[in-house]
Amino acid sequence: MNKPANQNRIQPNRRREGATLNARRSIAIVTGLAVGAALMASGCGTNPEPTSVVCTDFRAGADLSKSTFGVTGDLQRSYGAFAQAASDLAAVASHMLHEVSGACSGLAVELGANPADPRIAGKSEPDAAREWCKIAAERVANVRPRLDRLHFALQVITPQCTTDTSFQVACEQKCVAQAGCTEASTEERCPRDAREGVCAGTCTGKCIGAETAPASCTGTCNGACVGTCGAVADDAMDCTGGCTCSSVCTGTCTGDCALRDAGDHCDAICAGTCSEAMLAQTCTKPLAAPKCSGDVDCQKSCSASGAARAACPDGSFAIIVDPGARSDKEVARILGAFERHLPVVFLAARGRAKVLADGASDLLDSAGHILNHSQELGAMGAACGMLIGQTGDDARKSLNAALDGSQDLAHALGNSAPPASK
């Protein structure tokens, strides 16, 4: 039975749409509150005349742990976490947008688009990135019929980014309101399906290998299977040279191997649960909320920073076509363009940009609460609040543009773009 044409399309993210509206309201509140506070703090309507205050403490991508921004009282902890999160998000958002925009424009031009396409004229980022990705998607759609005749398919393994839990937990310690409260460990707070590490016991879930260190496998391999492919030994296909296996792979797997329900030994990275304590455990999803009560806005900022500082290892990207297809120079040119530009796009489209965009929206929702304390802000805190709030909003826009653009291009690849792996 044929699958509906839109089965593999990424569905609209209702949470992100709602978060965007809330973020727009928040940035307006942030600006209004900060302007008002700055005017009050600088002596509006008094003699001598008020003096303007310029924020010099805030910088994108910087360590702001030593800055107080002139803020006093309990507000210092939530304000400091808010500033650091905006700084962290701004740095990674700028980098991601630059990468996605470059990938989309590079692919579009290599596939024949006009480098001076009039649809780009007058547009700056992030709008230019969105437009370039639409143009790239059009160009991909134009060459798809030719590639489909060659049985074109993509084999994409996008590794999950691991949250910087050490930074997040250290940051959350500043938010705690309960003296003497012992927080749950990061291992406990990490969702079970997001735990990855070395398992000396029985692993339940997936065993994740890599091209340089394949995992032993007797199951479904989302990667290259080296060994045999087939549920029945007598009918198994020889894959000693490596193959794409949609049945049971017996041998090794360069991607993730789905283990049997009862679990099995994993000689690579176990993703799931382990009968013994995992070694070097990482978490590929946001941690659950802290057990110890504290400043919620401060905690949200710490979570956003943890996501922004996540480590994203290299995945793998392979194009499958009929043998000899690359002997055609035009086909080789098209596939080469795909290999140069699509890996970046898939990393953004499959979760990295969304997690960060959601964090930026949550951050801006908290901004109104944090900056609605004019007595504790002071002139510098109010002035920096405007800059921090605007920086956070710009980061959100950049991340959403990277997400939307990368998804447009992924959609153009249709059923050849398999669901996100791992």
Size (the chain), residues: 422
Confidence of residue 64 (pLDDT cuts 50, 70, 90): very high
Give the residue-averaged pLDDT of 16-22: 46
Report the C-alpha gap between 287 and 67 in whole angstroms. 27
pLDDT at 351 (0 to 100): 59
Is the sign of the CA dihedral 75, 81, 82, 83 positive or negative? Answer: positive
Q: State yes or no: pLDDT of 41 exceeds 50.
A: no
181 confidence band (pLDDT: 50, 70, 90): confident
Alpha-carbon separation of residue 121 from 40, 113, 215 (angstroms): 43, 14, 49
Q: Which residues pair with 226 in a beta bridge?
A: 252
More confident residue, 418 or 165: 165
The secondary structure of 324-391 as a DSSP string is: TGGGSHHHHHHHHHHHHHHHHHHHIIIIIHHHHHHHHHHHHHHHHHHH--HHHHHHHHHHHHHHHHHH
Of the candidates 22, 312, 25, the residue with the CA atom closest to the CA atom of residue 162 = 312
How high is the pLDDT of residue 51?
55
Mean pLDDT along residues 377-397: 88
| Cα separation, 210 vs 364, whole angstroms | 38
Please, what is the average pLDDT of the chain? Answer: 82
Which pair of structure tokens corresponds to residue 2? 């044929």
Confidence tier at 359 by pLDDT (50, 70, 90): confident
How much is the pLDDT for 140?
A: 95
Tell me which residue of 333, 369, 356, 365 sits closest to 406, measured CA to CA.
Answer: 356
